[in-house]
């Protein structure tokens, strides 16, 4: 049985770990699709799910078509000339995928094989992952795409070995990966726990390439990372997903920032594909007053049910900004809308979000595969329903250049970047969205 319902977009492919990366319904944006952890598990999160046994008769409306399906199956099985090409499991899976695709809920409702189910369950429970532990970005250069480390996961092999943000992958175990795709890089970085992997990188300012031999180890990727801009007392919190434990990590981060003197906050939901509804409600509850609606669920019969703010939330009411992009989806869109609808003074900065409008339920199939089906729709507190693939339009549209990507609090800490250096564009990348958020909060502080 599943643990609880969830919102959820589709996975994307990456390196050693599949991060909270951009969903792919309408095509990933350069900045959101390339944010990857190097840890490897499919980045499924979100939806409203509960496992259910499947033991249903063929509905009456489908009965005229069922014989056609099985007649076609039998004819292929009996007469197709190349018997070695007849794969019954593949035939069954392809039929299910075709049925799912006919629904038009692209990127949300879907079929998962038993192997994908295992990876899915590991992801949504935020289980330990075996790998080297880096956030990876791809940059477009004149010579082609290159793979660059955005940040390392604290205490993971890459961090311990001395790899740094900005290091460019050159080779892995002697194999050239300078212009490798994410999947190609993933296949050579991943491996069994305890096995060695030699990473060679180019580091700006260093004449010769550097080589590091790491031992692949299990580690936990943080769902929440944060930094503090002392100059204007701004907290900078990045929430990468709404997997199990996300709200607890966020509350811990917020309390830490409060002790440091935080007076305003940047909540970064860029590249966040969603997660458990309970986590989304708990996160929204940290920024909203009691008795406020976080989201409405609309059933197929038209009935609408509200999910309310939790009474045990922090209920912070400090000035804040929410950062979003095309990879902000599902539960991340719900939290964005919940905060902005209830607190119109909170600006949303970035670019249009992904656009997810259905609530998923998880159904077990007899061989361990699963169907994730959209069984409800959700509405924002203002009772606005998203159009699939449209999403939220920020109150302040700010784009990133083609060779830039979102800053990560870990990156700022590893490179000792201050608020002033971010504003001057002196970090690993020129994050114009983060800069716009800082400038807005500076204005609020000045006017306040």
The most distant pair of C-alpha atoms in the chain lies apart, rounded to whole Å, by 79
Average pLDDT, the chain: 83
pLDDT exceeds cutoff 70 at 35: no
What is the model's pLDDT at position 55? Answer: 52
Tokens 């690993």 map to which residue?
Answer: 428
Model confidence at 145, pLDDT cuts 50, 70, 90, reads confident
- Give the Cα separation of 446 and 364 in Å (integer): 56
Work out the percent of the chain whose per-residue pLDDT is above 70.
85
pLDDT exceeds cutoff 60 at 54: no
Model confidence at 56, pLDDT cuts 50, 70, 90, reads low
For the domain 132-219, what is the CATH code? 2.30.42.10
More confident residue, 373 or 26: 373
Tell me the domain boundaries of the chain.
Answer: 132-219, 224-356+376-447
Average confidence (pLDDT) over 378-383: 92
Structure tokens, 20:
């909270």
Model confidence at 123, pLDDT cuts 50, 70, 90, reads low
Structure tokens, 196:
């060695």
For 155-195, give the secondary structure using H, E and C.
CCHHHHHCCCCCCEEEEECCEECCCCCHHHHHHHHCCCCCC
By the 8 A CB rule, do 128 and 219 touch?
yes
More confident residue, 6 or 347: 347
What is the model's pLDDT at position 39? Answer: 29
pLDDT exceeds cutoff 70 at 126: no
More confident residue, 431 or 244: 431
Tens of pLDDT, residue by residue over 69-104, are: 889 999 999 999 999 999 999 999 999 999 999 988
- Give the Cα separation of 380 and 336 in Å (integer): 9
Tens of pLDDT, residue by residue over 207-227, are: 999 999 999 998 878 899 999
DSSP reduced 3-state for 306: strand
pLDDT exceeds cutoff 60 at 26: no
Per-position DSSP letters for 59-123, written without gaps between them: PGGGTTTHHHHHHHHHHHHHH-S-GGG--HHHHHHHHHHHHHHTT--TTTSEEE-HHHHHHHHHH
pLDDT exceeds cutoff 50 at 332: yes
- Give the Cα separation of 149 and 156 in Å (integer): 14
**CA pseudo-torsion sign 319, 236, 269, 292:** negative
By the 8 A CB rule, do 255 and 311 touch?
no
Q: Which residues contact 110 (CB under 8 A, 6 or more apart)?
A: 10, 100, 371, 372
What is the model's pLDDT at position 324? Answer: 98
pTM over 0.85: no
Model confidence at 125, pLDDT cuts 50, 70, 90, reads low
pLDDT exceeds cutoff 80 at 46: no
By the 8 A CB rule, do 396 and 438 touch?
no
What is the model's pLDDT at position 361? Answer: 83
CATH architecture of 224-356+376-447: Alpha-Beta Complex (3.90)
Least-confidence region, from 16-20, 155-159, 197-201, 415-419:
16-20
Model confidence at 115, pLDDT cuts 50, 70, 90, reads confident
Structure tokens, 423:
């504003």
Average confidence (pLDDT) over 373-379: 88
More confident residue, 220 or 340: 340
What is the model's pLDDT at position 77? Answer: 92
For the chain, report the end-to-end CA distance as a whole number of angstroms: 51
Tens of pLDDT, residue by residue over 246-256, are: 999 999 999 99
pLDDT exceeds cutoff 70 at 349: yes
Tens of pLDDT, residue by residue over 262-308, are: 999 999 999 998 888 889 999 999 999 999 999 999 998 999 999 99
**CA pseudo-torsion sign 345, 346, 347, 351:** negative
What is the model's pLDDT at position 118? Answer: 80
Q: Which residues of 224-262 are buried (b: 16+ CB within 10 A; e: fewer)?
A: bbbbbbeeebbbbbbbbbbbbbbbebbbebbeebeeeeb
- Give the Cα separation of 437 and 396 in Å (integer): 10
Q: Which residues contact 399 (CB under 8 A, 6 or more apart)?
A: 351, 432
By the 8 A CB rule, do 178 and 199 touch?
no
Structure tokens, 126:
């935020």
pLDDT exceeds cutoff 60 at 164: yes
pLDDT exceeds cutoff 70 at 400: yes
- Give the Cα separation of 224 and 252 in Å (integer): 9
What is the model's pLDDT at position 344? Answer: 97
Structure tokens, 298:
């609309």
- Give the Cα separation of 268 and 237 in Å (integer): 6
- Give the Cα separation of 343 and 341 in Å (integer): 6
What is the model's pLDDT at position 23? Answer: 40
The helix/strand count (H/E) of the chain reads as: 12, 20
Of 140, 162, 138, 160, the C-alpha closest to 150 is 138
What is the model's pLDDT at position 128? Answer: 67
The backbone region for 250, taken as left when phi is positive above 0, alpha when psi lies in -120 to 50, beta otherwise, is alpha
């Amino acid at each position: 049985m599943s643990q609880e319902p969830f919102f959820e977009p589709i996975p994307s492919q990456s390196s050693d770990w599949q991060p909270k990366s951009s969903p792919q319904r309408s095509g990933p944006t350069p900045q959101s699709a390339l944010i990857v952890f190097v840890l490897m598990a499919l980045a499924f999160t979100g939806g409203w799910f509960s496992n259910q046994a499947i033991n249903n008769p063929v509905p009456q409306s489908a009965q005229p078509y069922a014989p056609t399906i099985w007649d076609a199956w039998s004819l292929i099985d009996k007469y197709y000339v190349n018997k070695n090409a007849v794969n019954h499991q593949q035939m069954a899976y392809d039929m299910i995928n075709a049925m799912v695709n006919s629904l038009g809920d692209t990127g949300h409702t879907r079929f998962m094989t038993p192997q994908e189910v295992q990876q899915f369950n590991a992801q949504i429970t935020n289980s330990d992952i075996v790998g080297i532990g880096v956030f990876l970005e791809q940059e477009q250069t004149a010579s082609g795409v290159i793979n660059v480390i955005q940040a390392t996961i604290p205490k993971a092999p890459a961090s311990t070995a001395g790899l740094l943000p900005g290091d460019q992958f050159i080779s892995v175990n002697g194999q050239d990966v300078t212009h490798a795709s994410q999947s190609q890089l993933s296949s050579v970085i991943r491996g069994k726990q305890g096995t060695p992997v030699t990473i060679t990188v180019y580091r700006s300012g260093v004449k010769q390439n550097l080589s590091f031999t790491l031992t692949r180890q299990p580690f936990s990727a943080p769902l929440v990372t944060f930094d503090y801009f002392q100059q204007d007392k701004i907290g900078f919190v990045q929430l990468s997903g709404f997997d199990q434990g996300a709200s607890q990590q966020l509350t811990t981060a917020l309390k830490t920032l409060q002790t440091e003197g935080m007076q305003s906050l940047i909540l970064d939901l860029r590249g966040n594909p969603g997660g458990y509804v309970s986590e989304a409600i708990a996160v929204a509850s940290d920024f909203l007053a009691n008795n406020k609606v976080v989201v409405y669920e609309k059933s197929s019969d038209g009935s609408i049910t509200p999910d309310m703010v939790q009474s045990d939330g922090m209920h912070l009411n400090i000035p804040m900004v929410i950062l979003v992009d095309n990879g902000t989806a599902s539960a991340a869109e719900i939290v964005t809308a919940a905060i902005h609808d209830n607190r119109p003074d909170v600006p949303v900065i970035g670019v249009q979000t992904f656009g997810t409008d259905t609530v998923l339920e998880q159904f077990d199939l007899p061989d361990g595969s699963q169907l994730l089906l959209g069984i409800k729709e959700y509405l924002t507190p203002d009772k606005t329903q998203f159009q699939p693939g449209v999403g939220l339009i920020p109150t302040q549209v700010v784009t990133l250049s083609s060779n830039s990507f979102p800053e990560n609090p870990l990156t700022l800490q590893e490179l000792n970047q201050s608020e002033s250096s971010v504003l001057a564009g002196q970090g690993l990348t020129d994050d114009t969205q983060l800069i716009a958020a800082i400038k807005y909060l500076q204005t609020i502080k000045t006017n306040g």
